[in-house]
Amino acid sequence: MKVATSLLALSLLQVCSAVPIGRPTNWLRECRATTNVSVPALEVLPGGGWDNLRNMDTGRVINIGYFQRQTTGDGLYLIPDEVFVIHHKETGVETSSEIISSWLEQKSSTSHSINAEMSFISVLNGKFSKENQRMKTHQVKDSSTTTRVHVRNFIYTVKVYPDFTLDARFAQQAK
């Protein structure tokens, strides 16, 4: 019994160590330090995890590392090792607008293609997003109408190499 208690205490000491566990680095700081500091990293990247049931971001799925110090073809952005970028010679600006007079007509601007509305009766539905909740609150309390405008400028297409490496934290959770 004393041996079991001692082993338990030793294992807890190891788990509850006062030394902080370091987060894995993606070498972005080091890459910026050795290259042109003014070059920003491309922010809109594939490989993010999305929990469709909770309608929220759950972290990276692919490993985002900057070991190769790659930039876009025009040299404006740093890009991770696991992706490649296709620069569009002619950019296309896409604009759209809509007037939403009732919260029942509201569709998510970001996850419309991912989340299909689940309805049995038109009043009972399965929209569980903060965007929908905020719009419903304003339209019901203020008797208001919502206008939504989108402007998108397509400059790059970003794709992941087929043999990408999984993010270490995601791989650990998947085990």
Please give the pLDDT value at position 110: 62
**Tens-place pLDDT, residues 83-140:** 999 988 887 788 989 888 887 777 766 655 544 555 455 554 455 567 777 878 888 8
Tell me what pLDDT residue 17 has. Answer: 41
SS (H, E, C) 96-158: EEEEECCHHHCCCCCCCCCCCCCEEECCEECCCCHHHHHHHHHHHHHCCCEEEEEEEEEEEEE
Instruction: Please give the average per-residue pLDDT across 72-77, as a whole number.
Output: 88
% of the chain surpassing 70 pLDDT: 69
165 vs 175: which has the higher pLDDT: 165
Distance CA 153, CA 91 (A): 7
Quote the pLDDT of residue 118: 52
User: Per-domain residue ranges for the chain?
Assistant: 23-111+124-174
Confidence at residue 26, expressed as pLDDT on a 0 to 100 scale: 66
| pLDDT at residue 130, rounded to an integer | 74
H or E element in which residue 15 lies? helix 2-15
pLDDT confidence of 20, banded at 50, 70, 90?
A: very low
**How many Cβ atoms sit within 10 Å of the Cβ of residue 80?**
26
What percent of the chain is modeled with pLDDT above 90? Answer: 5
Name the phi and psi angles at 170, rounded to 5: -65, -45
Task: Report the Cα–Cα distance between both ends of the chain, in Å, rounded.
Answer: 33
What band does 10 get if pLDDT is binned at 50, 70 and 90? very low
Better-scored residue on pLDDT, 108 or 64 = 64
57 or 82: which leads in pLDDT: 82
Number of Cβ within 10 Å of residue 43's Cβ equals 6
pLDDT of residue 85: 92
On whether the CB atoms of residues 167 and 49 are closer than 8 A, the answer is no
Least confident of 14-23, 88-97, 150-159: 14-23
Q: Which of 99, 92, 166, 106 is nearest to 136 (CA)?
A: 106
Work out the average pLDDT over 2-9.
46
Task: Please say whether the beta carbons of 109 and 150 come within 8 A.
Answer: yes
Q: What is the pLDDT of residue 8?
A: 41
